[in-house]
């Protein structure tokens, strides 16, 4: 299988285009037409990970964090980013990063954290905004089913755990073909009445081009009458962070001990204890201080994330326990998650997890 074929199949499961705008996901380096000899999954594509891929004859590194995040003006090996990329290129190893596309995925990073904590009634903490669009298209009655199926095949009508969702209204349309037209039905310069269906489907914005292409390819009219409508609805199945409820509420101290055990932590940084019970818990893997206000709005009693700064702890204002468990620690399950996804999807070449510890933070206990 070629790299580009692998990416195409994988992104049917987790689309790279659901990543945050600031991010740099997808194929970062490598020839997309090269055949894959094997995949090495890692948290970070460091030089040591590239060395491991060379040793194991695996020419595709599938990582969580993008090793190239901001622009590179040269690749000469003068820093850890350039050394990793240069060695990968010299040894014909491709690097692909998933990062916030997996953070935003319903079954991604934060789903696993909630699963480890045993949270019930889970919801997305920060749902994606301005992501949904509605297509309304007018089509002759006898062509409506074929067009509907084509739109479903292109990815329209998927809403959470449902697909093939649509709405139709029958009506009467009119048109008059003018000089130069080539109508499927009707006569030039004469008004035509047609029994038509107004077909409506909802889809994520990043699917727009493929859906419009499918619509035009499968519509019988020379000129297709349609409109795209941007929806203000939140996408409740895509977004950063999650929150849910513990089976049984806990004292704050017991909750901190529980988290420390579940995540195998040496330390937890937290704000002042308020002696409140912990029932609803919010989580956001990685650098998640930006989710503190959302967690308070969701009435979370505790919030787990990483990279919380000094002043961020004040923002809880005694309404919520903020727990900084560490950036890597909050994402520690990612490699195993990706290994399980890729191993199930791709069975014709080797898929391995790195043995390299890439967490740059160490603790002196």
**What band does 31 get if pLDDT is binned at 50, 70 and 90?**
very high
pTM of this structure: 0.91
Q: Are residues 219 and 308 in the same domain?
A: no
Q: Are residues 116 and 253 in the same domain?
A: yes
Phi, psi of 206 (to 5 degrees): -65, -10
Q: What is the pLDDT of residue 183?
A: 87
Determine whether the annotation assigns residue 331 to a binding site.
yes
Q: Which of 242, 240, 245, 339 is nearest to 301 (CA)?
A: 245
Residue 187 has pLDDT above 90, yes or no: no
Q: Are residues 138 and 222 in the same domain?
A: yes
The strand pairing partners of 294, in sequence order, are none
| Distances in whole angstroms, Cα of residue 12 to Cα of each of 9, 25, 52, 361 | 5, 15, 28, 34
Q: Are residues 15 and 91 in the same domain?
A: yes
Residues constituting the chain: 365
45 within some domain: yes
Phi, psi of 50 (to 5 degrees): -60, -40
Read off the CATH number of the domain in which 195 is found.
3.30.70.120
Given 175, 204, 231, the domain boundary residue is 231
Q: Are residues 62 and 40 in the same domain?
A: yes
Q: Residue 352 corresponds to which tokens in the numbers above?
A: 């391995």
8-state DSSP, 206: G
Q: What is the pLDDT of residue 13?
A: 94
**What band does 117 get if pLDDT is binned at 50, 70 and 90?**
very high
Determine whether the annotation assigns residue 103 to a binding site.
yes
Task: For 219-277, give the DSSP string.
Answer: ---SS--EEEEE----EEEEEEEEEEEEEEEE-HHHHHHHHHHHTT-S--EE-------
| Distances in whole angstroms, Cα of residue 327 to Cα of each of 8, 107, 143, 210, 332 | 30, 19, 53, 36, 9
Overall domain count for the chain: 3
364 within some domain: no
> What torsion do the CA atoms of 26, 31, 33, 35 make, to the nearest 10 degrees?
-100
Q: Compute the average pLDDT of residues 28-53.
A: 98
Q: Are residues 227 and 243 in the same domain?
A: no
Q: Are residues 224 and 264 in the same domain?
A: no
Residue 186 has pLDDT above 90, yes or no: no
Read off the CATH number of the domain in which 50 is found.
3.40.1390.30
Given 193, 208, 231, the domain boundary residue is 231
Q: Are residues 190 and 264 in the same domain?
A: no
Q: Are residues 49 and 179 in the same domain?
A: no
Given 183, 213, 231, the domain boundary residue is 231
359 within some domain: no
14 within some domain: yes
Residue 47 has pLDDT above 90, yes or no: yes
363 within some domain: no
365 within some domain: no
Q: Are residues 143 and 120 in the same domain?
A: no
Question: Per residue in 89-115, pLDDT tens?
Answer: 999 999 999 999 999 999 999 999 999
Phi, psi of 70 (to 5 degrees): -110, 170
Q: Compute the average pLDDT of residues 34-62.
A: 98
Q: Are residues 110 and 72 in the same domain?
A: no
Q: Which domain holds residue 198?
A: 132-231
**What band does 24 get if pLDDT is binned at 50, 70 and 90?**
very high
358 within some domain: no
Q: Compute the average pLDDT of residues 1-15.
A: 96
Question: Per residue in 121-169, pLDDT tens?
Answer: 999 999 999 999 999 999 999 999 999 999 999 999 998 899 999 999 9
Q: What is the pLDDT of residue 152?
A: 98
8-state DSSP, 37: S
Q: What is the pLDDT of residue 351?
A: 97
CB 150 within 8 A of CB 218: yes
Determine whether the annotation assigns residue 222 to a binding site.
no
Distance between CA atoms of residues 202 and 54, nearest Å: 45
285 within some domain: yes
Provide, for the chain, the percentages of residues in helix, strand and coil under a 3-state DSSP scheme, each rounded to the nearest 5: 30, 30, 40
Mention every residue, 6+ apart, whose C-beta is less than 8 A from residue 296. Answer: 316, 319, 320
Q: Are residues 144 and 198 in the same domain?
A: yes
């Amino acid at each position: 299988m070629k790299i580009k074929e692998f990416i195409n199949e994988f992104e049917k499961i987790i689309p790279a285009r659901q990543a945050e705008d600031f991010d740099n996901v997808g194929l970062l380096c490598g020839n997309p037409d090269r055949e894959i000899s094997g995949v090495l999954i890692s948290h970070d594509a460091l030089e040591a990970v590239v060395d491991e891929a060379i040793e194991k004859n695996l020419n595709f590194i599938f990582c969580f964090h993008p090793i190239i995040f901001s622009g590179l003006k040269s690749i000469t090996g003068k820093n850890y980013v350039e050394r990793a990329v240069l060695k990968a290129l010299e040894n014909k190893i491709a690097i692909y990063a998933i990062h916030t596309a997996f953070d935003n995925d319903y079954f991604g990073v934060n789903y696993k954290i909630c699963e480890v904590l045993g949270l019930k009634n889970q919801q997305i903490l920060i749902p994606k905004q301005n992501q949904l669009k509605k297509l309304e298209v007018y089509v002759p009655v006898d062509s409506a089913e074929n067009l509907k199926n084509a739109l479903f095949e292109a990815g329209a009508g998927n809403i959470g755990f449902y697909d093939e969702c649509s709405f139709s209204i029958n009506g009467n349309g009119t048109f008059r073909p003018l000089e130069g037209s080539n109508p499927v039905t009707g006569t030039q310069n004469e008004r035509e009445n047609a029994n038509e269906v107004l077909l409506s489907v909802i889809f994520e914005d990043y699917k727009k081009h493929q859906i419009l292409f499918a619509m035009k390819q499968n519509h019988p009219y020379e000129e297709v009458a349609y409109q795209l409508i941007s929806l203000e609805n939140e996408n409740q199945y895509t977004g950063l962070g999650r929150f849910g409820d513990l089976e049984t509420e806990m004292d704050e101290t017991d909750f901190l001990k529980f988290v420390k055990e579940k995540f195998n932590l040496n330390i937890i940084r937290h704000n002042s204890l308020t002696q409140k019970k912990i029932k609803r818990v919010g989580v956001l893997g990685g650098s998640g201080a930006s989710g503190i206000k959302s967690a308070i709005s969701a009435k979370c009693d505790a919030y787990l994330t990483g990279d919380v700064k000094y002043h961020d702890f004040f923002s809880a204002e005694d309404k919520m326990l903020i727990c900084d468990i560490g950036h890597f620690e909050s994402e520690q399950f990612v490699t195993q998650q990706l290994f399980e996804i890729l191993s199930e999807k791709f069975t014709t070449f080797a898929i391995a997890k790195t043995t390299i510890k890439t967490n740059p933070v160490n603790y002196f206990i």
